[in-house]
Structure 1
């Protein structure tokens, strides 16, 4: 079987970086009140800047498909053009439409030729699932190359006006007009952006990254949903879908907002993450000393010490000087975050031949995890 290499990495981050103090000027005030949770959440996640596909009046400046295409365009030059692409595999949590698929909308902007398409949905693992589809296609010889992407445009989901009907409904019920923490929490965590990889069956270019293996795990068979949108969580843990609500409830209950069950998150995200990572390493017969750079996608720096502790308890000792993250600068960009870390590291001039890179991506949707092991060639 052919080997598979990430030969090019590019990113697209919209507009100018947004500081912590500017966030509410972009997203707006809910009920004309400054969020009481914002400063606490930002202090824990240690994010200092992020990017929004919005102007300062809250108007969208880019679609998700456009962000993705802008990242893809930077992969092309005279040696590899859009006409050479054989497969486009795109992952996102926040597509512009229910239908058509995200990959189809991106391909519509590329305007190159007929290619095979794959769209991966979900939460943070959407990007890794898109990467694995491309990896397996090139590995099997089905295609000679693939473009794989991760992207998010979540800022427009978090604008204050999306919650106005819910606030008005609470006022009518004479309840405290504050949206639930499970919704407010994520307004200060998530960011916009896109990144793209070119996968080829030859080690072209500078510092190509050979994909040695990829592994994925799901604990949905035993754990309830944690992060969700387009529905609401019932007391028994099930998700009632948006299509089962009356249309006026969609706005009054902010059914389409992104929500996270923080209690469930804290209970399982690190334990299952360390458990699955150890299983992936054991299956592929590597240990911590075989990892030059560890790239963990974490939604918040709050989880870093806890993840290290859980890994140490399972005999996985990766010193912090081998961890590589850029969460503080670009924010949590969901399915694009791991792509953005790889892009920055690959283009940093830090890598040397023989270095190894471990990618770790948790997804709190219903607790899924993805891993990849790369070698610098």
Structure 2
């Protein structure tokens, strides 16, 4: 333990890293890459691409299905890049907090797999599993380790390998495909929305000696799971998703797969309601003074689709919580929606963009549709 006594320390992000596998895949080649269910063009694919506004994305799986990397492998590469950006060596790492929607294993946790891929020595690890907001769960855990003096170098990382779940064989022969060979909308939309990659940030109790760092002012997470059924889930059918006794493990893997209870699914009608719940939490932050919009110089808001951004902006436009769109920064069109990795991939691009200046305040917002969660992180450029 570092010498800190009872005094809490400041925390700084001193390095940001990202890893995007393979070449960028454009919309014209996307369905060739992930495959066609029963050889048919998707009924909703073009509509999904118009809805999400993504132009290119990356996959860790080749068109014929060969695995080019793993979730843990991609996350380890992002961690190594972040540590290098901080001017450190892997051996300096004392706490590794990782986030993912679905790791390579059912057991053990993602952090253990990432540590092994790094070839790192003994350290403390923590695995956070949810959807997009798990990135800020890991960030808060890593931040508190440094703030309390438990670690001098901590990393928060997020990684996703969504494409392995999107191969046609994962759906064919299940209840998710109708008699005409068409995949249900709640599954098909996600095939055109999610992609692969990883991102990471290094946290230390002092800023870098050279270059820019980001002081962590605070990290807040709010879950509204007590108010909503799952909105994005894997492990149950749509009808039974709120009944824990009906989860896939009770039926067994073969029966659950046949019922379409293992695939990743999204309830788009519920999503419209959840968006308003996210905005409600945002407004509460503003009303309490936790967020002062006029003092925010840059907003990095993770959203899964351009249309969701438009809806968020529409709801906020006439409120005191609105942050002008010219202050927003995103990489969604170029890198796609990478779940828990998205916010760090976005932050890495932002730090390289030339936009951040000393004294600027940067607000990160990560809403998650899994079961209605939203996270906020306030940073200051130093």
Any residues of structure 2 matched to 1:18-33 within 5 Å, and which? 18-33=25-40
Partner of 1:182: 186
- TM-superposed CA distance for 1:253, in Å, is 2.3
TM-score, structure 2 as length reference: 0.93
| Cα pair 2:286 2:321 within 8 Å, conserved | no
Classify the secondary structure of the residue corresponding to 1:250.
Answer: helix
Partner of 1:227: 232
Partner of 1:367: 372
Any residues of structure 2 matched to 1:58-97 within 5 Å, and which? 58-77=65-84, 79-97=87-105
User: In the aligned structure 1, how far is the partner of 2:87 from the partner of 2:340?
Assistant: 28
Deviations 1:34-53 (A, max 9, x none): 00100011011110000000
User: In the aligned structure 2, how far is the partner of 1:294 from the partner of 1:208?
Assistant: 17
Deviations 1:36-90 (A, max 9, x none): 1000110111100000001121211111000011111223449411111110000
Partner of 1:321: 326
- TM-superposed CA distance for 1:316, in Å, is 1.2
Q: Alignment partner for residue 105 of structure 1, among 107, 113, 129?
A: 113
Any residues of structure 2 matched to 1:190-201 within 5 Å, and which? 190-201=194-205
| Cα pair 1:211 1:373 within 8 Å, conserved | yes
| Cα pair 2:222 2:375 within 8 Å, conserved | yes
Classify the secondary structure of the residue corresponding to 2:237.
Answer: strand
Root mean square deviation of aligned Cα: 1.7
| Cα pair 1:215 1:280 within 8 Å, conserved | no
Say if 1:57 and 1:235 are closer, same or farther in 2 by CA, change over 3 A.
closer
Classify the secondary structure of the residue corresponding to 1:211.
Answer: strand
Say if 1:31 and 1:287 are closer, same or farther in 2 by CA, change over 3 A.
same
Classify the secondary structure of the residue corresponding to 2:181.
Answer: coil
Partner of 1:203: 207
Partner of 1:139: 147
Partner of 1:265: 271
Partner of 2:354: 349
Say if 1:313 and 1:244 are closer, same or farther in 2 by CA, change over 3 A.
farther
- TM-superposed CA distance for 1:313, in Å, is 4.3
Partner of 2:20: 13
Say if 1:247 and 1:80 are closer, same or farther in 2 by CA, change over 3 A.
closer
- TM-superposed CA distance for 1:268, in Å, is 2.0
Partner of 1:291: 296
User: In the aligned structure 1, how far is the partner of 2:59 from the partner of 2:279?
Assistant: 32
Q: Alignment partner for residue 243 of structure 1, among 249, 254, 265?
A: 249
User: In the aligned structure 1, how far is the partner of 2:172 from the partner of 2:361?
Assistant: 49
Unaligned runs of 5+ in 1: none
User: In the aligned structure 2, how far is the partner of 1:170 from the partner of 1:152?
Assistant: 25
User: In the aligned structure 1, how far is the partner of 2:361 from the partner of 2:11?
Assistant: 15
**2:44 is equivalent to residue 37 of structure 1:** yes
**2:130 is equivalent to residue 122 of structure 1:** yes
- TM-superposed CA distance for 1:349, in Å, is 1.9
Unaligned runs of 5+ in 2: 1-7
- TM-superposed CA distance for 1:283, in Å, is 3.9
TM-score, structure 1 as length reference: 0.95
| Cα pair 1:224 1:238 within 8 Å, conserved | no
| Cα pair 1:162 1:254 within 8 Å, conserved | no
